[in-house]
Every structure is written in C-alpha cells, then in structure tokens.
C-alpha cells in the first residue's frame, strides 16, 4: 500500500506537486493537543492489542485455536461429595477444563505439578481449573487427589458424556475458555502452563474484559 501511494505521487504533474507542497496555512493547534496525540500514538505502537498477544501465545504453546463459540454447559459432581459444580457458575473467569484420568501417566505428572502451581499462583484472580476425571469411580479418584495434593476443583464425568461433548480423544486434553464464556483453545497432551509463555497467555486472558 505504501509503495503504491508513493508511486502515485511520482506520476503527478509538476504543477500539482507544487500546489500540494504549498498548502494554505492551517489553523494553529494547541500544544497540549499535539502532545496528547503524540503520546496516544506512542502508547498504541508500544502496546499490542490483546488479541494479537493471545494469537502469539497460541502459536508459542502450540494450542489449537477454537472458533469463539460459547462453551457447552455442564454440571458435574465434585469428587469430595459436596454437590455439583457447573460451568455457568464460573462466568467472568478464565476456565481451564482439564480432562484427565488416574491411569494417564502424563496426567499424573502434569496435574499435581504444573496445573497445581498455576491454581495456587492465581488464587484471588478471575481464574479457575475444573479437573474433569473421565469414567472413573469416586473412591479411586478421591484417593489419588488426596495423595497427590491436588487442590483444584476435581469433578467426576462418570459416563464420559461431557468428554464426548467436548470431543476429547486423548488425555490430558485442556479446553481454555475466556472470561466471556467462549472457547479460546484446545491442547491435546501436556503444555508448559507454568512456563514463561503459559503464564503470559493466562495473564492476557485474565486481563481481557468479561464481556
């Protein structure tokens, strides 16, 4: 676009160029307005749009971007027997729906370490993890959670219906939902959620408005 614009200037007649180079004096602009415009331009250049940041972190973390549709709702029993937790109750928060199983070696490494770390670090923020155990009995899951020191919300998808709704075909699978309740990304397999890019990605999502 810029080169085309300059080329068009080069093809103008010389009389037209002279006329455009000698405009009538413009009205004086207050110095404060000029400084304000310059500052706004500098800030706009220095701070990339949140959407651009999120796209960059999606690539760095090798996440599959999702189309931004509203996440399918669900309500599942808590592993501790204290009723149910629903996705609707998390409105206004960034939600990681972490599908896992006790027999999954990768899950046993990631859930009590990287996932647990981000849960502890982000307490008090509009952020939560719903760790959804797929088709496993309560006693087995509760025993593992207690022994591993997991403090995130552990839910039981006893018949696997929610996992099927979210098209989970491997464990772990993490579904990232934005504060507006819409699908952001999917990760099949482990990711460095507690690494530099992972933290920056979650920071950007937490900072986004809950529309």
| Residue 206 confidence (pLDDT) above 70 | yes
pLDDT tens for residues 34-52? 444 444 443 333 344 467 8
CA 156 to chain CA mean position, Å: 24
Is the distance from CB of 179 to CB of 92 less than 8 angstroms?
A: yes
Half-sphere exposure of 109 (CA within 13 A, CB side): 8
pLDDT tens for residues 125-161? 999 999 999 999 999 999 999 999 999 999 999 999 9
Residues 172, 104: Cα–Cα separation, whole Å: 8
- The per-residue pLDDT for 119 is 97
CA 129 to chain CA mean position, Å: 13
Residues 126, 205: Cα–Cα separation, whole Å: 10
Q: Hey, how many other C-beta atoms are within 10 angstroms of the C-beta on 96?
A: 24
- In this structure, the chain runs to a length of 211
Is the distance from CB of 152 to CB of 115 less than 8 angstroms?
A: yes
pLDDT tens for residues 93-131? 999 999 999 999 999 999 999 999 999 999 999 999 999
Is the distance from CB of 166 to CB of 175 less than 8 angstroms?
A: yes
Helix or strand (DSSP H, E) at 134: strand 127-134
Pairing of β 183-188 and β 64-65: antiparallel
């Amino acid at each position: 676009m810029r080169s085309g614009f300059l080329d068009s200037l080069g093809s103008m007649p010389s009389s037209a160029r002279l006329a455009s180079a000698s405009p009538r004096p413009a009205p004086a602009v207050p110095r404060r307005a000029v400084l304000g415009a310059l500052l706004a331009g500098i800030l706009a250049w220095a701070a990339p749009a949140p959407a651009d940041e999120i796209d960059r972190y999606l690539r760095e973390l090798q996440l599959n971007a999702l189309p931004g549709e509203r996440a399918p709702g669900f309500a599942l029993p808590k592993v501790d027997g204290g009723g149910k937790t629903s996705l609707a109750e998390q409105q206004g928060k960034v939600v990681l729906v972490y599908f896992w199983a006790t027999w999954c070696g990768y899950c046993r490494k990631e859930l009590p370490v990287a996932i647990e770390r981000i849960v502890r670090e982000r307490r008090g923020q509009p952020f939560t993890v719903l760790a959804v155990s797929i088709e496993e009995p309560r006693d087995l899951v509760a025993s593992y959670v207690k022994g591993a020191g997991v403090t995130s919300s552990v839910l039981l998808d006893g018949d696997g219906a929610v996992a099927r709704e979210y098209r989970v075909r491997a464990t772990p699978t993490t579904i990232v939902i934005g504060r507006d309740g819409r699908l952001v990304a999917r990760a099949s397999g482990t990711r460095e959620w507690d690494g530099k890019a992972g933290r920056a990605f979650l920071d950007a999502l937490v900072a986004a408005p809950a529309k």
